Amino acid sequence: EPTLYIVATPIGNLEDMVPRALNVLQTVDVIAAEDTRHSSRLMQHFNITTPMIACHDHNEGFVAQKLLDRLREGQQVALISDAGTPLISDPGYRVVSLVRAEGFRVVPVPGACAMVAALSASGLPSDRFLFEGFLPAKEVARGQRLRQLQTETATMIFYESPHRIVATLNSVVAEFGAERELVIARELTKTFETICALPAAAMLAWVLGDGNQQKGEIVLLVRGAAKREQSEDLDDEVLRILSLLAEELP
Ligand code: SAM
């Protein structure tokens, strides 16, 4: 059956390439890759010789049509991005929605994903989380977005670029306060992997004071806002009334 495979690739450490992904990439007829030059290094490393075509944000609609043609011819196709799981702050959404809409099978081949890796080792609550991808680059828009999240109680996860991390931490301190707990997961699975938890203002000071923290790839996690005390207040009120009633009962 013609199938589109959505294949995760490593986010740094090549040993995170799973055997099933290697098998799929070797056996499909074509691989759509975000940056074919970048991915050809991965392919060479694993001796994968499958032809690649480029699929990035600017040609995704066009590539989606090409992949559809291949599927209609009965071919097997795979989609990868530069690193981690395609579609997660990466191209692929248009391809997957179109291919599914045309009735073809889409099969995920899961593997590395920076936000899942970061959350799993962050120590922050993982029962509910909100993945926000990249914040707006401009300060005003970034502040607005964060303001909308001020009362969000789920753990929030952001992707960040090293040259913007200081500006983003400034915005986070401004909107969430100096005491909000943050975790920065940097260079995951690589030699200089660092996972650091600090209150927002202390995090900003630490990153400012250590230039190394402004390099590499970064996931920023923010502890959700404390649940509103309302429900507890209500419980107290209910208890108070119950005890008053109890006193009046015979
Ligand atoms: N699709 C990828 C995934 O599954 O995680 C994410 C692609 S997105 C364009 C790139 C961003 O992911 C980086 O700016 C960084 O925020 C995060 N990232 C990727 N690799 C990382 C790593 N090894 N350590 C920390 N963050 C990483």
Index of the ligand 1 atom closest to the CA of residue 85: 4
In this prediction, residue 230 carries a pLDDT of: 55
Give ipTM to 2 decimals: 0.99
How does pLDDT run across 79-118, given as a tens digit for each residue? Answer: 999 999 999 999 999 999 999 999 999 999 999 999 999 9
Query: At CB < 8 A and 24+ separation, what contacts does 63-66 make?
Result: 63/32, 63/95, 64/94, 64/95, 64/98, 64/99, 65/98
Q: Of ligand 1's atoms, which has the minimum distance to the CA of residue 115?
A: 5
Q: What percent of the chain lies above the pLDDT cut of 90?
A: 89
Q: What is the pLDDT of residue 246?
A: 85
How far is Cα 112 from Cα 187, in angstroms, rounded to an integer?
13
CA distance 69 to 62: 11
pLDDT score of 195 more than 70:
yes
Confidence grade of residue 249 (pLDDT, cut at 50, 70, 90): confident
CA distance 195 to 219: 9
Exposure class string for 18-48: b at 16+ Cβ within 10 A, else e: beebeebbeebebbbbbebeebeebbeeeeb
Tell me what pLDDT residue 234 has: 67
| Segment 32-59 mean pLDDT | 95
Question: Does residue 114 have its Cβ closer than 6 Å to ligand 1?
Answer: yes
- Each as own residue / partner, the long-range contacts of residues 149-153 (CB below 8 Å, 24 or more positions apart, any chain) are 149/175, 149/222, 150/175, 150/176, 150/225, 151/225, 151/228, 152/224, 152/225, 153/128, 153/224, 153/225, 153/226, 153/227
Residue-wise pLDDT for 210-240, tens only, equals 999 999 999 999 999 998 755 566 677 788 8
> Residue with the nearest Cα to atom 2 of ligand 1?
84
Nearest protein Cα to ligand 1, atom 13:
217
Check residue 229 and give its pLDDT: 56
Q: Select from 116, 219, 221, 222 the residue to mutate for testing ligand 1; criterion: most ligand atoms less than 8 Å from CB.
A: 219
Cβ–ligand 1 contact at 83 (below 6 Å) = yes
Tell me, using a 6 A CB cutoff, whether residue 219 lines ligand 1: yes
Q: Are 185 and 154 in contact (CB under 8 A)?
A: no
Global pTM reads 0.91
> pLDDT tens-digit profile of 2-27?
999 999 999 999 999 999 999 999 99
- Residue 117's pLDDT is 98
Is any atom of ligand 1 closer than 6 Å to the C-beta of 170?
A: no
Q: Mean pLDDT, the chain, as a whole number?
A: 95
Consecutive H or E run containing 42: helix 36-45
Which is it for the CA torsion 227, 232, 233, 238, positive or negative? Answer: positive
Which atom of ligand 1 lies nearest, measured to the CA of 118? Answer: 25
Report the distance separating Cα 248 and Cα 250, nearest Å: 7
Question: Which pLDDT band, with edges at 50, 70 and 90, does 248 fall under?
Answer: confident
| Best probe residue, ligand 1, of 16, 80, 85, 89 (max atoms within 8 Å of C-beta) | 89
Model pLDDT for residues 110-148, shown as the tens digit of each residue: 999 999 999 999 999 999 999 999 999 999 999 999 999
Atom of ligand 1 nearest to the CA of 84: 4
Pocket test for ligand 1, best of 6, 159, 214 (most atoms within 8 A of CB): 159
